[in-house]
Amino acid sequence: MLWFPSWFYMTGAASDSLVRHFSKNGVFSVQSVYNVAVELLSRDSAGQSGLGEAPKGGWDFLWKLKIPAKVKVFVWRTCNQALPTAMNLQRCHLLVQNLRLYCSSEGEDSKHIMLSCDFARQTWAGLLLICRGPPS
């Protein structure tokens, strides 16, 4: 759950509705957030704007979104490597070892925790299953 830009209202014959341009049908879903996260990870790997960089146009879009403030702050902190990860705690001399707590690899940072870690991938997959509900 990295960027949540471009929410907008669609008007038409039915009542106004909030839609999201990242999903094909305009409906918010955990899958659409996961798809955006994967896209950002691939951009970051290719050296394009991704984690750790301000998006084009700055952060104004994030602060203007109609989502809870704690979600905005979490997204901003994640993208700016400002979470209390093992790497950041070690840099501040608050942690001796810089181990990834769930996969025991070196160098736990925001990007790893949110996208790269096998444990994180399993967590995202589990959330997708929970949000979709049982097969009908």
* Domain extents in the chain: 29-132
Tell me how far apart the alpha carbons of residues 119 and 101 are, in angstroms, rounded to a whole number: 10
β-strands 7-10, 17-20 pairing: antiparallel
**Maximal C-alpha separation, the chain:** 61
Tell me how far apart the alpha carbons of residues 68 and 95 are, in angstroms, rounded to a whole number: 31
- The pLDDT tens digits of the residues spanning 73-121 come to 888 888 888 888 888 888 888 866 656 666 766 678 888 888 788 888 8
How does residue 127 score in pLDDT terms, banded at 50, 70 and 90? confident
12 residue type, one letter: G
